[in-house]
Amino acid sequence: MAAPPAPAGPGDDAAVVYATSGSLVVTTDILVESRHFRLDWSSPYDVGRKAAAQNLADVVAMGAWPTALLIGLACPPATRLTVTDGLADGLRDECAETGAAVVGGDVVSADQLIIAVTALGDPRGRAPVLRSGARPGDTVVLAGTVGRSAAGLELLRAGVTTGPLVAAHRRPTPPYAAGPDLARAGATSMIDVSDGLLADLGHVARASGVVIEVDADALAAYEPAVPAIHRLTGGEDHGLVATLPPGAVLPSGVRPIGRVLGPADPDDPAGPEGAAGTVRVVGADVPADLLGQPGWDHFGAAGN
Amino acid sequence: MAAPPAPAGPGDDAAVVYATSGSLVVTTDILVESRHFRLDWSSPYDVGRKAAAQNLADVVAMGAWPTALLIGLACPPATRLTVTDGLADGLRDECAETGAAVVGGDVVSADQLIIAVTALGDPRGRAPVLRSGARPGDTVVLAGTVGRSAAGLELLRAGVTTGPLVAAHRRPTPPYAAGPDLARAGATSMIDVSDGLLADLGHVARASGVVIEVDADALAAYEPAVPAIHRLTGGEDHGLVATLPPGAVLPSGVRPIGRVLGPADPDDPAGPEGAAGTVRVVGADVPADLLGQPGWDHFGAAGN
């Protein structure tokens, strides 16, 4: 993706960041060792890349171009320099994938290693793509990987420490360019998949007041090497899921996986089923363990 | 100070913040319980106000108007709701003093209470005021309180828990309006006093390549109720110190406390003393304990 104007980080009281079009998007996340990452499973460099990636993915999910990252690092006094250097290198290199730069930060001493990341992005004059704009008739589309991080985590827990799924858990590769591409293609809503596809589509369905139907078979064809349960519920790959209006041209790397329906109309028993905010899974490939899980009830996931 | 356009925090992947003039300033700090604050000395509400204040002061020290705050909160699972509510109320109310708003955040579980604050500000078309612009002939001016927080901390350590100095430690009151006012008055450099007046003027002197002379007697007249050592070395009041060119009109509440000199010229033994980056303290009121402290050598503080 094209690089935005270079931000200035003068080491002053605050950094100066350009915002070319009168607004910007900003997001923050806080990551705690042994809760959000483990240094026995991931290198400090990979933790740095992942910490940046999850915030940069939030920026592109608004259709904006990442411009700047700020880092707050709390670490125990005994933290080795190889750890902090690795984190810093990973944060810097993941930023570089998007044209953004680390422009500021703060380092303090604490009992536990904690990384606070704030990411800024420039929507370049386009209205940010929110979760609330999905409309009946839209196509649900996906970019990037889904479920690989969760599958990799399962392998790590089982003692497997190599292979592409484990690598995907250690260092997700969000489809950064697809965010602005989908905004340009007219995306009516967008979100990055951080909680799991069904959970995140639930956020969109509720914010938009619609029913979202996921085609489990299209999803299986999209991501065949991942168990169905992880495709539907695994987060942290930070793929992008968006809704596009009829007739929109799909950007490169983007594929349809479902559709948006209106909520059920009690006067039209032949119309679509489900209350606003519902996510339904259709197709032959709905995993049995999903259907039985009470945890998914509030997302209204239902096979047929 | 006039309120900037209200930022939007839609609870989406990221918040949307207005930046009216093509750039913004942004700063981040991370605060750790028992290192940066103590809940047995300060209420959660005051800790929230202080956490916001120190970041908002960094924004106004650039001459910008604060617009938005993002909060990352890590807290032990047993943290009482009165603590998190108090923190949130304090953060919100301190923001409101400046016209800014909390637009986003993240809450996670951790072993220790940690608050990561990111503040954004709008320079409204004016170039941000950096540390590097002080010029020989400028006047050094101060706004807000100085040394009261350090004096209050000393009292708390001695078991005194009430009074104005203790209150100043618990909840600093940065002179927010003075930041944009000083920028408008033509400030050539500005910094908020967070490390102590001599230390922060040292940052300005080094970044600007000048010698800064502080008039200890003017400072004593400015802040008479505070011991001299705290006036010169106490941080965390988040007053603003700036340099103004000859002929500038001092904004309300701003008073001169020193002057900017060029570095010593070896060919002009009658010229100003001191190497670039030096801070000198002149006047009758230089505390003896400052002169003997080797820690201040690198700021070049010298009485006469």
> In a mutagenesis test of the B interface, which of A26, A35, A87, A112 is the best target, namely the one with the most B β-carbons within 10 Å?
A26
Question: Rounded CA gap, B40 and B79, in Å?
Answer: 14
Enumerate the β-bridge partners of residue B73: B107, B115
Task: Note whether B105 and B154 are within 8 A (CB).
Answer: no
Which residue from A29, A58, A72 is facing B29, i.e. has the nearest CB?
Answer: A72
**Residue type for position A246:** P
Q: Where are the domains of chain A?
A: 25-122, 139-291
CA dihedral of A102, A107, A113, A115, whole degrees rounded to 10: -30
Enumerate the β-bridge partners of residue B286: none
User: Tell me, which fold does domain B139-299 have in CATH?
Assistant: Phosphoribosyl-aminoimidazole Synthetase; Chain A, domain 2 (3.90.650)
Judged by CB atoms closer than 8 Å, whether chains meet at A109 and B32 is answered as yes
Question: Rounded CA gap, A203 and B12, in Å?
Answer: 9
Judged by CB atoms closer than 8 Å, whether chains meet at B131 and A12 is answered as yes
Q: Which residue of A has its CA nearest to B16?
A: A25
Residue corresponding to tokens 């608050």: B115
Q: How many CB atoms lie within 10 A of CB B269?
A: 8
CATH code that applies to domain B25-122: 3.30.1330.10
Which of the four pLDDT bands, split at 50, 70 and 90, describes residue B3? very low
pLDDT digits (tens, 9 = 90+) for B7-32: 555 568 888 888 888 889 999 999 99
Question: Looking at beta carbons, which residues of chain A come within 8 Å of B116?
Answer: 28, 30, 72, 114, 116
Ranges A62-66, A194-198, A269-273, B261-265: which has the least confidence: A269-273
Fold: same for A25-122 and A139-291: no
Question: Looking at beta carbons, which residues of chain B come within 8 Å of A13?
Answer: 25, 27, 57-59, 61-62, 131, 190-192
Residue A5: pLDDT above 50?
A: no
Judged by CB atoms closer than 8 Å, whether chains meet at B35 and A62 is answered as no
pLDDT digits (tens, 9 = 90+) for A114-145: 999 999 999 999 999 999 999 999 999 999 99
Instruction: Show the DSSP H helices in A114-235 as ranges.
Output: 148-157, 164-170, 178-184, 197-208, 216-222, 228-233
pLDDT digits (tens, 9 = 90+) for A214-236: 999 999 999 999 999 999 999 99
Pairing state between β A65-75 and A114-122: antiparallel
* pLDDT at residue B239 in the model: 97
Q: pTM of the predicted model, to two decimals?
A: 0.89
Judged by CB atoms closer than 8 Å, whether chains meet at A16 and B128 is answered as yes
Question: Rounded CA gap, A145 and A140, in Å?
Answer: 15
* Strand, coil or helix: A45: helix
From first CA to last CA, the distance across chain B in angstroms is 40
Judged by CB atoms closer than 8 Å, whether chains meet at B14 and A31 is answered as no
* CATH architecture group of domain A139-291: Alpha-Beta Complex (3.90)
